[in-house]
Amino acid sequence: MVVPGLGTTAAPNLVGVPTESGRAEIPNLAEVPSEFGRAENPDTAWVQGHSRSAVPAFEAAPAVLAISEPAVPASTTPTLPTAVADLLPTSPAAAPPPGAPQGHARSVDIAGLGTFAVPDGMPPLAGIPGVVEIPAPTVLPKQRSTGERAVEAARSKLGTSYSMGGNGPDSFDCSGLVRWSYAEAGVDLPRTSYGQLAAGTPVGIDELQPGDLVSYNGGGHSALYAGDGRIIHASTYGVGVTESALDEMSITGARRY
């Protein structure tokens, strides 16, 4: 502690009981016992071998000054604007892998802290120092196979009339529908059902994919596999282009183009 006029001292005998103000009051030295016993006369009291007259009157001494601890430098850890900090999780989140679909959050990178997910509804954070918005990966639409495009073309002709030798687009026979549908997908097929069965790559019935050719009745009838156990084909007069069950007729084989 610091005592005015005396400097810094560690004098336990001078420390009194803390008051409500938080400062220690120093009692009258005349009432402080010394090593020679308690003083009898306040005017001639001895305190550790010295007369009272040689000691300043401490009754009215100002309060002891407290020595404060050295100031601790403020933390140098960067802080975030409240609008950002309040919305971030307590720990960094792993960045989504490339190509992963985006949900209801987007990613931002904060210098020195890591990558965080923020709600999609939060305004852009561009312009905030140290915060970089991570662009969402571009998810390309799934590319349709040639067979899927052929099935889509054939499905657009459901209900079209049947005619022998019909090549479309207003009427078809069975092989004419298959050939026209594949031409719409950019592939040229043989014109007849027997020629279509002879081309392409053989495929098992249990391995069929949309667009595969399914041949019936010894190769005399062609159809397109539509998926889910269904085919699209130009059936016969009065029925035209229709959708039927895969096993409606006797299967001869299947081909993939």
The pLDDT value recorded for residue 70 is 54
CA torsion angle for 215, 218, 220, 221 (degrees, to 10)?
A: -30
The pLDDT value recorded for residue 211 is 97
First and final C-alpha spacing in the chain = 97
The pLDDT value recorded for residue 74 is 53
| Residues forming the active site | 174, 221, 233
d(CA 216, CA 210): 17
d(CA 160, CA 171): 6
Instruction: Tally the C-alpha atoms within 13 A of residue 170's C-alpha that lie toward its C-beta.
Output: 0
Angle subtended at Cα 156 by Cα 208 and Cα 151, rounded to the nearest 5 degrees = 15
Instruction: Tally the C-alpha atoms within 13 A of residue 32's C-alpha that lie toward its C-beta.
Output: 21
- pTM score over 0.85: no
106 neighbors 115 (Cβ within 8 angstroms): no
Domains present along the chain, CATH in parentheses = 2-54 (no CATH), 82-134 (no CATH), 146-256 (3.90.1720.10)
Averaged pLDDT in 10-residue chunks for the chain of 257 residues: 54 49 50 49 47 47 50 51 50 48 66 77 73 74 88 97 96 98 97 96 96 97 97 97 96 97
User: What are 103-109's contacts with CB under 8 Å, separation 24+?
Assistant: 106/133, 106/134, 106/136, 107/133, 107/134, 107/136, 108/132, 108/133, 108/134, 109/134
CA torsion sign, 247 to 253 to 254 to 257? negative
pLDDT single digits (tens) 190-232: 999 999 999 999 999 999 999 999 999 999 999 999 999 999 9
